Chains A and B, each alone.
Chain A
Amino acid sequence: MNVIEIAGLRKSYGNTEVLHGIDLSVRLQRLTGFLGPNGAGKTTTIRILLGLVQQSGGSARLFGQETRSCGPRLRKRIGYLPADVRFPVGMSGWAVLQLYARARRIDCQSEIRRLAWQFDLELDKRVRKYSTGMKQKLGLIQALMHRPELLILDEPTTGLDPLVRENVFRELRDVVASGRTILFSSHSLSEVEHLCDDVVILRNGYVIENQPIDSLRQRALRRVSVEFQSAAQIPDQMPLALQVIERKGPRITATWADGIDRLIEWLRQIPIRDATIEKPDLEDLFLTYYSDKMATIDSGPDKGERL
């Protein structure tokens, strides 16, 4: 079952279209990374899901219901952390959380205390005196405290130290383990790779990937180093998946853009002395494959369809 279902979603500001009919889905009980550079349309998509912004076309559904028509009822089931979270400054952290809890008509004092302890946040201080990281922790607590079925987190680790970041990741994994769903928006691929089950990659208002991290990893480039018996034995015809980066005597260094079984099959057929195959690096894929996709997207009227 999909918790988030977006089909042909478009958004224009005046004459500028920022979302070009995107399709994406977020599965139940999965931690889905939402990746893309600044201006890709991540925040606009999230804001449409939350009813802060109205779409120009297409549909956005949460739990099978159109977000446009069932706002408050759906928001009861959602926890949200904005990218630039701000609170009423004249109140203490505790008072702010109590305010949001009362506005939601729930009592979650014990959960607030547990999360504050987990994230090491002092709630008695006034929000005015909080550092950026403390405000971020407070934002995370307000998003988590009512145990929502869907968590939408926009850049949740901004300003957090590595120790707290690990605590946050642990908490998020627990959330998913308890049957809930998370949409985790980020700039950082390493963070998403470390934490998420699925990934959605957005660029310039187009979805260019929406699949499990593992299948993306399978398609990731592997760095391969092969040493032949002699330089003369290096074949003239290389497989299409092999991109030679460096040739030094009998040794070539290359990237392999296909399945590992095919690589092994090829290595078995050629006279080699040694071979090193590195683990696929998603960061490389992100940068390389990403720009390739963009070249496809930016050219021609059938943009998007070739993805």
Chain B
Amino acid sequence: MNLAITQRFLRESLWPTLVSCAGIVLFVVLFVWAMDQMGPQLMEFVSSVGFLRQMLELAFGISLTGAVSSNVLFSIVWMHPVVLALSWGLLIAVATRQTCGEVERGTAELLLTLPVSRQGILVCGVATWSLISVLISVCPLAGVFAGTWFVEQTDPVQYSRFTMVMVNFLALNLAVASMATLAGTCIMRRGVAIAVVAGMLIAGLAMNFLESFLTFIQRIRFLSVLNYYHPGDIVRDGTWPIADIATLTGIAGVCLTAALIVWVRRDIPCP
């Protein structure tokens, strides 16, 4: 791994990373505060509207019938569209920037003619987004911690369970970034690469909603990375999602191997 190139990648991603991390922490703090202020009333309302309850249960993977503990409510933040959009938006942007983004900006010409192998350059990129993935995965937990610091809780916050969710979230983020890297090496137009990965993730989210209505989706759900990510179940059961984490790590490994093969062999077009 070339330290100078890694530093350059990190430097270019610094501001977007800080903004996204701050955004996630701030959002989670507000979420915790909002749940404290109007959680019971909100749950009562949601329980009374059957369709809304079903939609939210499908979206967040938790049961909203009966008494819902604050810990289960907090698990919503790991599936919340705002958190997912900020995390994935950043990771997809960073991962595609280091591959097709370099080609599109014309900076790949000099980068790839340095005495560093293409594998080495890809490893620098992977190191950059891996570090960002760790940071971004810690943010929701940091938000819960900061939020509960200000808001007094009746239930003790189960940090051990949230740590399990955090590790699952990290594996998910690594899988998403690897998919973006693969798209960035196969497609030399960054906009198209971003659209492809975003499309796949949105399709995965849509499957969560549609599987109750369209039975054939249950047969293809395994194709979505979200099939291996259930924060609500982890907080409720308190068991490590080993199989899910292993599957997401496997997806990341396969995508990275494919990206490496493509990246090493492909022609770099003129900007």
Residues of B within 8 A of A53 (CB): 267-268
A98-112 with Cβ < 8 A to chain B: 99-100, 102-104
Flag if A84 contacts B106 (CB, 8 Å).
yes
Tell me the minimal C-beta distance from A38 to chain B in angstroms.
12
Is B49's beta carbon under 8 Å from chain A? no
Tell me which of A43, A54, A72, A78 contacts B270 (CB under 8 A). A43
Tell me the minimal C-beta distance from A106 to chain B in angstroms.
10
Binds B, one of A86-94, A162-170, A282-290: A86-94
Residues of A within 8 A of B2 (CB): 103
Residues of B within 8 A of A88 (CB): 8, 12, 107
Residues of B within 8 A of A194 (CB): none
Contacts A53-B267, A53-B268, A54-B267 known; A75 to B4 CB distance under 8 Å?
no
Tell me the minimal C-beta distance from A60 to chain B in angstroms.
14
Flag if A75 contacts B5 (CB, 8 Å).
no
Residues of B within 8 A of A99 (CB): 4, 7-8
Flag if B107 contacts A75 (CB, 8 Å).
no
Residues of A within 8 A of B109 (CB): 52, 80, 82, 84-86
Residues of B within 8 A of A76 (CB): 115
Residues of B within 8 A of A84 (CB): 106, 109, 270-271
Residues of B within 8 A of A123 (CB): none
Is A133's beta carbon under 8 Å from chain B? no
- 1/0 contact trace for A25-68 toward B, CB 8 Å? 00000000000000000010001001111100000000000000
Residues of B within 8 A of A100 (CB): 110, 114
Once bound together, how far apart are the Cα atoms of A103 and B4, in whole Å?
Answer: 5
B1-18 with Cβ < 8 A to chain A: 2-5, 7-8, 12
Once bound together, how far apart are the Cα atoms of A71 and B113, in whole Å?
Answer: 9
- Count of CB-CB pairs between chains A and B under 8 Å: 68
Residues of B within 8 A of A86 (CB): 105-107, 109-110, 271
B129-185 with Cβ < 8 A to chain A: none
Flag if A90 contacts B3 (CB, 8 Å).
no
Residues of B within 8 A of A85 (CB): 106, 109-110
Residues of B within 8 A of A52 (CB): 109, 112-113, 267-268
Tell me which of A50, A72, A142 contacts B116 (CB under 8 A). A72
Interface size on B, residues (CB 8 A): 25
Flag if B115 contacts A90 (CB, 8 Å).
no
Interface size on A, residues (CB 8 A): 27
Tell me which of A43, A47, A80, A87 contacts B107 (CB under 8 A). A87
Is B219's beta carbon under 8 Å from chain A? no
Contacts A84-B106, A88-B8 known; A103 to B116 CB distance under 8 Å?
yes
Residues of B within 8 A of A51 (CB): 112-113
Tell me the minimal C-beta distance from A247 to chain B in angstroms.
50
Once bound together, how far apart are the Cα atoms of A47 and B267, in whole Å?
Answer: 9
Contacts A53-B267, A82-B110, A86-B109 known; A102 to B117 CB distance under 8 Å?
no
Flag if B114 contacts A104 (CB, 8 Å).
yes
Residues of B within 8 A of A47 (CB): 268, 270
Flag if A73 contacts B115 (CB, 8 Å).
yes
Tell me the minimal C-beta distance from B265 to chain A in angstroms.
7
Contacts A86-B109, A87-B107 known; A102 to B3 CB distance under 8 Å?
yes
Once bound together, how far apart are the Cα atoms of A102 and B4, in whole Å?
Answer: 6
Residues of A within 8 A of B5 (CB): 103
Residues of B within 8 A of A103 (CB): 2, 4-5, 114, 116
Counting chain A CB atoms within 10 Å of each CB, which of B12, B107, B109, B113 scores highest? Answer: B113
Once bound together, how far apart are the Cα atoms of A99 and B5, in whole Å?
Answer: 8
Once bound together, how far apart are the Cα atoms of A52 and B106, in whole Å?
Answer: 12
Residues of A within 8 A of B265 (CB): 54
Counting chain A CB atoms within 10 Å of each CB, which of B3, B8, B120, B265 scores highest? Answer: B8
Residues of A within 8 A of B112 (CB): 50-52
Tell me the minimal C-beta distance from B13 to chain A in angstroms.
12
| 19 intermolecular pairs with C-beta atoms under 8 Å apart | A47-B268, A50-B113, A51-B112, A51-B113, A72-B115, A73-B115, A75-B115, A80-B110, A82-B110, A84-B270, A85-B106, A85-B109, A85-B110, A86-B107, A87-B107, A88-B12, A90-B12, A102-B3, A104-B115
Name B's A-contacting residues (CB within 8 A): 2-5, 7-8, 12, 105-107, 109-110, 112-118, 120, 265, 267-268, 270-271
Closest 8 A/B residue pairs (Cβ):
A86-B106, A102-B4, A76-B115, A103-B4, A82-B109, A75-B115, A53-B267, A52-B268
Supply 20 further A-B pairs (C-beta < 8 A) apart from A51-B113, A84-B106, A103-B4. A43-B270, A47-B268, A51-B112, A54-B265, A54-B267, A72-B116, A72-B117, A73-B115, A82-B109, A84-B270, A86-B109, A86-B110, A90-B12, A102-B4, A103-B2, A103-B114, A103-B116, A104-B114, A104-B115, A142-B110
